[in-house]
């Protein structure tokens, strides 16, 4: 049982690292976009950010499945820390999805790339004016996104390591 638990723990941690690595490009883009002026460079950065989404979501799913398996293997489902971690994870994902994704979709639309509106993929439209694009880029909040994401994950990591309740 010990070997199985450690193996699943390795998988859980590995995919957690892979999730962070695959998400790092989007985080860097969120900060860099505010400084960009050229339409083609903005488009390239947005495409770079989107290019890692498949790996990001697969690694997130694998990490979650590993965490669920660890919950059963370690008999943690009756503890408060695991439920607190799950609630925090949901809040992080919803918060990041609401704040970051909506902003990126608005920017993609403004620079003439395909974008999502609600749950629908929309084709590219004519780019907005340079002034509108600049204003939209400045409205992004990468520091808030970082605080939600990194801060939330740090709390979850602390709960997993210290299991305080």
Would you state the pLDDT for residue 32? 97
Q: DSSP string spanning 10-79? A: HHHHHHHHHHHHHHHHHHHHHHHGGG---HHHHHHHHHHHHHTHHHHHHHHHHHHHHHHHHHHHTT-TTS
Residue 114 Cα distances to 2, 20, 78, 105, angstroms: 49, 25, 45, 9
pLDDT for res 118: 86
- Average pLDDT (135-156) is 96
At 154 the pLDDT is 98
pLDDT digits (tens, 9 = 90+) for 67-121: 999 999 999 999 999 999 999 999 999 999 899 999 999 999 999 999 999 889 9
Predicted pLDDT at 75: 98
Could you identify the residue written with the tokens 């490009």?
A: 25
pLDDT tens per residue across span 131-140: 999 999 999 9
* CA–CA distance, 163 with 138 (Å, rounded to integer): 40
**Residue 66 and residue 8: Cα distance in Å, rounded?**
6
User: What pLDDT does residue 95 have?
Assistant: 93
pLDDT per residue as tens digits for the range 11-68 = 999 999 999 999 999 999 999 999 999 999 999 999 999 999 999 999 999 999 999 9
Distance between CA atoms of residues 83 and 74, nearest Å: 14
pLDDT confidence of residue 26: 94
Q: How many residues does the chain have?
A: 165
Residue percentage of the chain with pLDDT more than 70: 100
């Amino acid at each position: 049982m010990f070997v199985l638990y450690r193996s699943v723990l390795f998988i859980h941690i590995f995919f957690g690292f892979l999730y962070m690595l695959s998400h790092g490009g989007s985080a860097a883009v969120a900060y860099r976009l505010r400084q960009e002026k050229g339409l083609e460079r903005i488009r390239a950065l947005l495409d770079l950010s989107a290019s890692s989404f498949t790996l990001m979501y697969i690694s997130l799913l694998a990490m979650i499945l590993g965490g669920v398996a660890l919950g059963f293997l370690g008999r943690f489902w009756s503890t408060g820390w695991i439920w607190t971690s799950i609630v925090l994870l949901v809040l992080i994902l919803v918060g990041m999805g609401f704040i970051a994704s909506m902003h990126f979709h608005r920017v993609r639309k403004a620079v003439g790339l395909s974008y999502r509106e609600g749950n629908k993929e929309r084709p590219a439209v004519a780019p907005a004016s340079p002034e509108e694009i600049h204003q939209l880029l400045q409205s992004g909040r990468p520091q808030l996104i970082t605080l939600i994401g990194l801060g939330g994950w740090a709390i979850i990591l602390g709960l997993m390591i210290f299991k305080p309740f």
